[in-house]
Amino acid sequence: MNPILSASDIPYPATLIFNAGVAKWQGKYVMAFRNDYGGKPGSSRFKGTNIGVAFSDDGISWQPQSKPWIEWTDDEVSRAYDPRITIIDDLCYLSFAIDTLHGIRGGIAVTHDFDKWEILSLSAPDNRNMVLFPEKLHGKFMRFERPLPIYGRNAPEKFDLWFSDSPDCYYWGNTQLVLASEQVPWANAKIGPGAPPVKTPEGWLAVFHAVTVDKSKKLPAWHPDWFKTYTVGLMLLDLEKPWVVKGMYQEPLMVPTEKYEQEGFRGHVLFPGGLILEDTGEVKIYYGAADTVECLATAHVDDLIALCKTRTGCRDKRDSIDIVNAAVNSSDWM
Ligand code: BMA
């Protein structure tokens, strides 16, 4: 089955098709994907990046539109990329990153037709991996975000996963640390939000990416010196306080094992951007593989929730598990 979308499926210039957002909308599945184009396979230079759209009846076979949707370049912005899609009250929201002359910004936009789009907010730099929750809580939009604090964390890439909320999608506040990178036992560098989380009776089920750097092991890539492995982590968040982690699977849920995950522009990279809970209990996990193709994995929601109940080895943000547990009921678990 995998990859489910790659450059050869696209009817316009495309080299790398990856890091897509996926949602169910108006009886179909819709995907917004990143396309780095204008480079030959094997080269590490590209002419540009755009965001394309594809539709599907089953979430597996995809029909891309005849031309790309968004390509943002101007005096300030060099590209928009890594889109996620969230449906809230039947409206389609797109979150994305932009590279600008003055840093990386996270954006949120709304669209009615995957043609016109209206930008609602752009963060201050450096921030990216904005991901909207599919519901409001007490009238407020909720999002994950991932600032990039180079100076403040005293390390090159110790970036963490944050939450904030907003009454209108323009003004964001109530900023809370959700998961610190040092809480992820198998990773030694940055983490970041993956897909819009799905609601279950036990909590918000969410995937995230987690990075391990091993400078002694060069990984396959189209450019020299690639040492980072991106794996997929899994956690469950409190329904009323979605910045509180109730449980986290202590091992990576997904690691790069297949050829299309280990080899490409940047090998050993899994980057989840779409999570869909079907009525059958099946969860579809969409992820970019090796920064080159888009793939799909599936699991049962009950199994994923059970994995999050693993208690052993969990580290608190401040090295004491009691602090986080104090924020949730004693019947909850971390
Ligand atoms: C991140 C982003 C993603 C990319 C990943 C792995 O920092 O740039 O778009 O998939 O690196 O290269």
Give the model's pLDDT for residue 22.
98
Domain boundaries, the chain: 7-332
Predicted pLDDT of residue 139? 98
If you measure from the C-alpha of residue 228 to the centroid of ligand 1, how many angstroms do you get, rounded to a whole number? 10
Per-residue pLDDT at 92: 98
What pLDDT is stored for residue 326 in this prediction? 27
**Cα 50 to Cα 43: distance, rounded to the nearest angstrom:** 18
Per-residue pLDDT at 317? 52
Ligand 1 geometric centre to CA of 329 (Å): 36
Confidence at residue 204, expressed as pLDDT on a 0 to 100 scale: 98
Q: Cβ–Cβ contacts within 10 Å for residue 58, how many?
A: 8
Distance of CA 310 from the midpoint of ligand 1 (Å): 28
Q: Which of 16, 18, 19, 209 should be mutated for ligand 1, with most atoms under 8 A from CB?
A: 19
Task: Name the CATH superfamily housing domain 7-332.
Answer: Glycosyl hydrolase domain; family 43 (2.115.10.20)
CB within 8 Å of 283: residues ≥ 6 apart: 198, 205, 275, 276, 277, 298, 299, 300, 301, 304
Angle formed at CA 163 by CA 320 and CA 167, multiple of 5 degrees: 140
What ligand 1 atom has the least distance to the C-alpha of 34?
A: 9
Below-50 pLDDT ranges, the chain: 312-314, 318-334
Which residues form ligand 1's pocket by a CB distance below 6 Å? 19, 82, 230, 266, 269, 271, 288, 291
Q: What pLDDT was estimated at residue 333?
A: 38
- Compute, in angstroms, the gap from residue 86 CA to the centroid of ligand 1: 20
Nearest ligand 1 atom, CA 81: 9
pLDDT of residue 310: 77
Per-residue pLDDT reduced to its tens digit, 21-61: 999 999 999 999 999 999 999 999 999 999 999 999 999 99
**Mean pLDDT value across the chain:** 93
Ligand 1 pocket mutation pick from 230, 263, 265, 294 by most atoms within 8 angstroms of CB:
230
b/e sequence 281-290, b meaning 16+ C-beta within 10 Å: eebbbbbbbb
Distance 209 CA to ligand 1 centre (A): 10
Q: What is the pTM of this model?
A: 0.93
